[in-house]
Chain A
């Protein structure tokens, strides 16, 4: 069996490992388009903070890890897939055949329609190469404009602040991290940043980035321009599925639509991770989650089905996120925005930056947002994914949403 994996992020690596365990003698090839060994983008904020070196970002630390498992790794980029001939055309001009193909090409930063985004002093924060560029530029006193106060923007704030950069954060939405945090949470986070000396401007739409010698002027649609030595664009990501545009593979939300077996519409072609539009546990609908735990889960299930089709079925991934914004930790789970007719239980301690909001559908917990909580947080997943009927604990949680562990123990041990 000849397994070809496009992408060397967490999904690609976990799929390759799982396939090797299932098929000791199969040929497994993993393609990545960056020159470094497979690494984790999740670790980049900690690299920027000098907490780790580049090696610390590697997904697997052992030097000959992939070779030792007979997983062939190539620095290559897929350009097109011929699903009838079961062949992938590569950017180098070469072609690779496959018996089973996994598309795990991840996602790439969105390029917002802002004139001047393609200048040398403007960068994303996505790859190790981006991280090197940012590290070199954030000298004490350097003026940095961060476009976007979403997940990535927030998680690199601490690194930028501690490097001594003079920071301006511009968010076009009405609050920080609007795709993960409810309005109360987002507003509190903004207040926290202000206390830490970081001004986050919301409803700030960038009109253009203009060069002024070695510096830049970031023009806003409304209000005064902001000067910058470095502009970091962090306005979200989209699936890397452009190379499948003419393949006939069904795409949805710009990603590869997969079924419960992680199989695409084309025979023997599977997808996993950020590039897959897969089943959401909470809604039962298909969406792109673009989060680490889902990538790993997709990959494991895809590998099992590449080995033996329809052997393992995906129950759907629970959406979950955790974010550290200059030391304030927020988390979101499942249907954190709530469901129609469902109850909510909220507790807010504004002065201590503590917040929790639980979302119920009848007697079951279906989603949550938290701020400032670090203990036993995973139990939210347990409660949501276990679909436990909370019985009398529903009323107790409505009274005090912090009694999550007790509710879980009662549901499982009672």
Chain B
């Protein structure tokens, strides 16, 4: 059973532990600016929303990559960027309609959530269970997929 990140924004307190854990695990620094998960703050509503890649079926990033640097990890279902193959052209960053692939100017490569190979640090670091790593079927993932479908540019005609 594949698992995915389930985000319950109502439980998020905006502590940014997830961003710290993500950047430390993936970039070796405690720097929220280098995190692949991002907590957005809604000042007017007093609300925090953690947000990262949903590893969507459409995989816009993977389709748009001109050098085959993004592949699906069949074990975790995550779309992973091969740093050795990525040339840093950034086409995936504009093609992803969720805005979850970012260019890292320091490395000259793109970065995105890879579910930490199946053991996501953000979920482990979250003190309020706003981010959990659960069976894909139980995540309300369908809702996310529905948004994905809204941005699909091909529809079945018949």
Interface residues of B in 92-125 (CB under 8 A from A): 93-105, 108
* A-chain residues with CB within 8 Å of residue B68 when the two chains form the complex: 58-61
Complex-state Cα separation, A187 to B153, whole angstroms = 33
Which chain B residues border A378 with CB–CB below 8 Å?
60, 93-101
- CA A327 – CA B158 in complex, angstroms? 46
Residue pair B97, A314 in contact (C-beta under 8 Å): no
Q: Could you tell me which residues of chain B, from 28 to 49, have a CB within 8 Å of some CB in chain A? A: 38, 40-42, 49
For the side of the interface on A, what is the size category? 35 or more
Question: Which of B51, B94, B153 has a CB less than 8 Å from the CB of A409?
Answer: B51
B154 contacts A by Cβ under 8 Å? yes
Asked whether A379 lies within 8 Å of B99 as measured between CB atoms, the reply is yes
Q: Are B153 and A297 in contact (CB under 8 A)?
A: yes
- Chain B stretch 20-72: residues in CB contact (< 8 A) with chain A: 38, 40-42, 49, 51, 60, 63-64, 66-68
A412 within 8 Å of B by Cβ?
Answer: yes
Interface string of A315-348 (1 = CB under 8 A from B): 1111011101001010101000000000000000
Structural contact, A385 and B151, CB atoms closer than 8 A: yes
A/B pair count, beta carbons within 8 Å: 155
CB distance from B44 to the nearest CB of A (A): 8
Chain A residues near B51 (CB-CB < 8 A): 405, 409
Whether A312 pairs with B157 at a CB distance below 8 angstroms is yes
Q: Is the CB of A313 within 8 A of B89?
A: no
Interface string of B146-158 (1 = CB under 8 A from A): 0100111111111
Residues of the A chain whose Cβ atoms lie less than 8 Å from the Cβ of B95: 293, 320, 378, 381
Distance of A271 from chain B, by nearest CB (Å): 16
B40: chain A residues at CB < 8 Å are: 405-406, 409
Q: Does any Cβ of B come within 8 Å of A377's Cβ?
A: yes
Interface residues of B (CB under 8 A from A): 9, 38, 40-42, 49, 51, 60, 63-64, 66-68, 85, 87-91, 93-105, 108, 147, 150-158
In the bound complex, what is the Cα–Cα distance between A40 and B65 (angstroms)?
10
In the complex, are the beta carbons of A51 and B108 less than 8 A apart? yes
For residue A410, CB closer than 8 A to chain B, the reply is yes
16 pairs of residues in contact across A and B, judged by CB atoms under 8 Å: A43-B89, A51-B108, A60-B68, A261-B157, A281-B153, A310-B157, A374-B90, A378-B96, A378-B97, A378-B99, A378-B100, A379-B98, A385-B97, A385-B150, A405-B40, A405-B51
Contact B94–A374 (Cβ < 8 Å): no
Question: Is A375 interfacial (CB-CB < 8 Å)?
Answer: yes
CB distance from B52 to the nearest CB of A (A): 11
User: Contact: A331 with B94, CB < 8 Å?
Assistant: yes
Once the chains bind, are B66 and A10 in contact (CB under 8 Å)?
yes
Whether A379 touches B90, Cβ cut-off 8 Å, given contacts A59-B66, A313-B157, is: no
A374 to B103, Cβ gap below 8 A?
A: yes
A348-372 contacts to B (CB < 8 Å): none
Report B61 CB to chain A, min CB distance, Å: 8
A-side contacts of B9, CB under 8 Å = 413
Asked if A29 is an interface residue, CB under 8 A from chain B, the answer is no
Whether the pair A381, B42 counts as a contact (CB closer than 8 A) is no
- What 5 pairs between A and B have smallest CB-CB spacing? A379-B99, A376-B99, A382-B97, A40-B66, A378-B96
Cβ–Cβ < 8 Å partners of B101 in chain A: 378
B100 partner residues in chain A, CB cutoff 8 A: 376, 378
Q: Report which of A293, A380, A409 forms a contact with B49, defined as CB distance below 8 A.
A: A409
Is A386 in contact with B97, judged by CB distance below 8 angstroms? yes
B94 touching A297, Cβ below 8 Å = no
- Asked if A381 and B97 sit within 8 Å, CB to CB, the answer is yes
Cα(A412)–Cα(B157), bound, Å: 25
Q: What are the residues of chain B within 8 A of A374 when measuring CB–CB?
A: 90, 93, 102-105
Q: Are B151 and A310 in contact (CB under 8 A)?
A: no
Query: At the interface, yes or no: A57 with Cβ under 8 Å from chain B?
Result: yes
Q: Which residues of B contact A43 (CB under 8 A)?
A: 66-67, 87, 89
| Complex: chain B residue closest to A388, CB-CB | B150
Q: Is the CB of B64 within 8 A of A56?
A: no
B154 touches A379 (CB 8 A): no
| Residues B102 and A315 in contact, CB atoms below 8 Å apart | no
Bound-complex Cα distance A394 to B96 (A): 22
Whether B153 contacts A321 by the Cβ 8 Å rule is no
Q: How far is the CB of A382 from chain B (nearest CB, A)?
A: 4
Q: Please give the distance in Å from A331's CB to the nearest CB on chain B.
A: 6
Given that A301-B154, A381-B95, A386-B150 are contacting pairs, would A57 and B67 also be in contact in the complex, using a CB cutoff of 8 Å?
Answer: yes
B-facing residues in A42-81 (Cβ within 8 Å): 42-43, 45-46, 51-52, 56-61
Between A45, A293, A317, A408, the greatest number of chain B beta carbons within 10 A of the residue's beta carbon is seen for: A293
Chain B residues with CB below 8 A from A408, complex form: 99
Determine if B153 and A317 form an interchain contact, defined as CB atoms under 8 angstroms apart. Answer: yes
CB atoms of B154 and A314 under 8 A apart = yes
* B92 to chain A: closest residue by CB: A378
| Least CB distance, B72 to chain A, in whole angstroms | 14
Report the nearest B residue to A411, measured CB to CB. B147
The residues of B that contact A315 with a CB separation of less than 8 Å are 152-155
Which of chain B's residues have a CB closer than 8 A to the CB of A412? 147
Given contacts A313-B155, A377-B99, contact A46 B94 (CB under 8 A): no
Are B90 and A329 interface neighbours, CB within 8 A?
Answer: yes
